[in-house]
Amino acid sequence: SQQGEEDPQALSIQEGENATMNCSYKTSINNLQWYRQNSGRGLVHLILIRSNEREKHSGRLRVTLDTSKKSSSLLITASRAADTASYFCATGSDRGSTLGRLYFGRGTQLTVWP
């Protein structure tokens, strides 16, 4: 399956702490993206990292990608209650029939307590 798998399924932390979520996948990819979903809403794109990149930053977000281990991590620093949401990784490869498709994992539910 090309679907990514996030770990842990649920994460509960206090405000100010860092939150780390991991994503593993099984096939070769050309990019990996992270999305956020607030309860009952659509997904919002956070960050994209290409297969030739190892690390990327955006504000309080830091994403790493290790293609040899087929894994990625999303770090949210100094978390806030407003960061409470589900976070999904999505992989793309654009090979043949997968052109334009993203494969989403099941997500990590992050709860940040005030």
Partner 1 sequence: DGGITQSPKYLFRKEGQNVTLSCEQNLNHDAMYWYRQDPGQGLRLIYYSQIVNDFQKGDIAEGYSVSREKKESFPLTVTSAQKNPTAFYLCASSPSPISYNEQFFGPGTRLTVL
Interacting residues with partner 1 between 27 and 86 (CB under 8 A): 30-31, 33, 40-45, 48, 50
Residues with Cβ within 8 Å of residue 73, at least 6 apart in sequence? 20, 21, 22, 23, 63, 64
Q: In terms of CB distance, is 65 or 92 closer to partner 1?
A: 92
Cα distance between the two ends of the chain: 38
Q: Does 104 bind partner 1 (CB under 8 A)?
A: yes
User: Which residues are at the interface with partner 1 (CB under 8 A)?
Assistant: 3, 30-31, 33, 40-45, 48, 50, 88, 91-94, 98-102, 104-107
